Amino acid sequence: VRSVLQMLQGFSSPLFYWDDRAHTFHVKNDIHVAHLSLSSLSDILSRFIHAANCLQLVEEFVKHIRMYSQMYPPTMKAFTDSVFERLK
């Protein structure tokens, strides 16, 4: 559970890592959970990985806009500032 929460916060963990080239989280090793089939675990983890990927991509977008804010209109800056505050 801890590793999934770390991933959702945008951090690599003992079980998941962020691939900068593919812009996605991956599972580091085969994970096994007692009383859960491998396909069920894979399905559950894929949903968390998808959510973490989306959050990470939004965070990268916001960082880009904030870094190059002079290139964007005030509305875009206000929007990204609002998103940035929510992601903290």
Tens digits of per-residue pLDDT, 16-42?
999 999 999 999 887 888 999 999 999
Average pLDDT, the chain: 94
Domain count, the chain: 1
The whole domain housing 48 covers 2-87
Query: What is the per-residue pLDDT for 23?
Result: 93
Q: Is the pLDDT of residue 60 over 90?
A: yes
Query: What is the per-residue pLDDT for 61?
Result: 95
What Cα–Cα distance (Å) separates residue 31 from each residue in 27, 81, 84?
Answer: 8, 37, 33
Amino acid at 83: V
Count the neighbouring beta carbons within 10 Å of the beta carbon of residue 16: 21
